Amino acid sequence: MNFFDFTGKYVSALRSTAARMLLLISSVLIASTWAAAAGKALQIYFVDVEGGQATLFVTPTGESLLIDTGWPGNDGRDAERIVAAAKKAGLSKIDYVLLTHFHTDHAGGAPQLAARIPIGAFIDHGENRESTDGPTVQAWQAYQKLLDTRKYKRITAKPGDTLPIHGMRATVVSSDGVVISKPVPGAGQANPECKNAEKYSADETENLRSLGTVITFGKLRILDLGDLTRDKEMELMCPVNKLGKIDIYIVSHHGWYLSGSPALVNGIDSRVAIMDNGAKKGVTPSAWDIVKKSPHIEDLCQLHYADEGGGEHNVAPELIANPQGPDAGNYLELTAQPDGSFDVFNSRTQKTKHYAAR
């Protein structure tokens, strides 16, 4: 063997070893990526926007959906809290921002958010229908300005639509005052709560236009109806329950009495309810009672201690993210597994509570 033969063989041996190593490394990488994706959870951040809404979903495929943007003003307080949650989740962009309706505590924060983080698309119910309310008109116009930049895709969703996000299934159940005509798959049972249900007068604000979704992740079902009012809840829940049973109920309307009828709350029969209330916003004691006494509720969690609730209508301190006193903007984070189990983390106590699959 001359020197060149030797180096040739040596190099080709090296090459094939390198190739094998590469193959090994890449298959390990592929396997671990697959395992991570398969075993990975759905993360939901309940950002404290002081009685508005901002709920961030991050799916195992890394896609994100933010439901509502909190309030405008306050030097971008709400937008910064949302961006902080997004960073914690490892996001550099929010794929979809859904505005349930154009009230200022939901849509008002959109421009400040857009100034701080890239957004892929906005999802809404269509036009603003409340042209008599100054702050709502302002929020709507600011949103139009964002859309006019042509930087964002706009999706106007209708009942029955499935949102384009991957890694969880988000089905629209209400939009622009219209609800789904047929029950979602698996739902449609008679709702005993309808029999003696109160008759509610029709809401005339943006609330009844709320873009509501049922989100399915593995065995887990999550409900968010924005501020959808009781008159519309009756259309969803009577005479048959079109939504079915829900595991995690994002309490409508911050726990205010104009939403959260017994027909809805007892019909969906949730395990855990999370209330995006403020210290002085939402949480009517009568509405709080309905959630707290619903048939199989395990826990109600609150983003804030409710001043109006006093000792009788607030949950145990460990289930509250922000107690009385100076506000720290603590959040709740829910980690959902496809088998139906989930964990709720309170950023104030740094404690996590586990809920087993049922």
Hey, CA dihedral for 293, 294, 300, 303, is it positive or negative?
negative
Nearer to Zn ion, 193 or 227 (CB): 227
Q: How far is the CB of 106 from Zn ion (least distance, A)?
A: 6
- As a whole number of angstroms, the distance between CA 245 and CA 162 comes to 19
Q: Which helix (H) or strand (E) holds 322?
A: strand 320-322
Which of these, 305, 337, 335, lies nearest to 318 by C-alpha position?
Answer: 305
Beta-carbon count within 10 A of 338 CB: 17
Residues in CB range of 236: below 8 A, 6 or more apart: 173, 174, 179, 180, 212, 242, 243, 264
Q: Is 358 exposed, middle or buried (0-12, 13-18, 19+ CB in 10 A)?
A: exposed
Q: How far is the CB of 33 from Zn ion (least distance, A)?
A: 39
Q: How far is the CB of 239 from Zn ion (least distance, A)?
A: 28
Q: How far is the CB of 254 from Zn ion (least distance, A)?
A: 6
Nearer to Zn ion, 241 or 302 (CB): 302
The encoded tokens of residue 267 equal 């019909």
Contact between 274 and 250 (Cβ < 8 Å): yes
Q: How far is the CB of 61 from Zn ion (least distance, A)?
A: 30
**How far lies 262's CA from each of 199, 267, 355, in Å?**
12, 7, 24
Nearer to Zn ion, 67 or 336 (CB): 67
Positions that interact with Zn ion (CB under 5 A):
105, 227
- Cα–chain-centroid distance for residue 273? 12
Nearer to Zn ion, 203 or 227 (CB): 227
**How far lies 321's CA from each of 138, 148, 225, in Å?**
31, 37, 22
Q: How far is the CB of 70 from Zn ion (least distance, A)?
A: 10
- As a whole number of angstroms, the distance between CA 311 and CA 97 comes to 36
Q: How far is the CB of 323 from Zn ion (least distance, A)?
A: 22
